[in-house]
């Protein structure tokens, strides 16, 4: 993982933490990772964060481990990441807004092709 990918992972984790209205101190209590380490991960300061720490963060934030691992460049056994983390990992050179457009477009195509969805 390079610096840009580390920042993308950190932003993803920070956004989820904020969506849950958790402070870094509250997250520290939930996952047992020190506040300074959480802040450093969120700031993209680790280009190879510990898979164990990422698993603890994913669990505390109710995130699929495969999503977090995909953003970090790790493989999660027996589980595929959701679309956006996959796109972020696969096309890390693209800006976030382009990734979001790709995700929206693919989701629209899936809905159009889903035989269970009546239009």
Q: What CATH code is carried by the domain that includes residue 66?
A: 1.10.260.40
Q: How many domains does the chain have?
A: 1
Contact 67, 55 (CB under 8 A): no
- pLDDT over threshold 70, residue 60: yes
| Higher per-residue pLDDT: 88 or 37 | 37
81 three-state secondary structure: coil
Give every CB contact of residue 85 below 8 A, 6+ residues apart in sequence.
Answer: 12, 66, 67, 68, 70, 71
Share of the chain above pLDDT 70, in %: 92
42, part of any domain: yes
63, part of any domain: yes
Q: Which domain holds residue 54?
A: 3-113
Q: Is 75 exposed, middle or buried (0-12, 13-18, 19+ CB in 10 A)?
A: exposed
Q: Please, what is the average pLDDT of the chain?
A: 89
- pLDDT over threshold 90, residue 89: no
pTM above 0.85, yes or no: no
For 75, list phi and psi in degrees, rounded to 5.
-100, 130
């Amino acid at each position: 993982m390079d610096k840009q990918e580390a920042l993308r992972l950190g932003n993803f984790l920070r956004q989820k933490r904020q969506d849950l209205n958790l402070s870094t101190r509250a997250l520290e209590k939930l996952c047992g990772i020190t506040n300074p380490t959480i802040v450093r991960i969120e700031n993209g300061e680790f280009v190879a964060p510990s898979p164990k720490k990422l698993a603890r963060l994913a669990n505390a934030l109710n995130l699929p481990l495969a999503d977090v691992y995909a953003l970090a460049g790790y493989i999660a056994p027996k589980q595929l990441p959701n679309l956006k983390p996959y796109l972020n990992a696969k096309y890390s050179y693209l800006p976030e807004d382009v990734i979001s457009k790709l995700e929206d477009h693919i989701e629209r195509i899936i809905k159009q092709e889903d035989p269970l969805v009546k239009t």
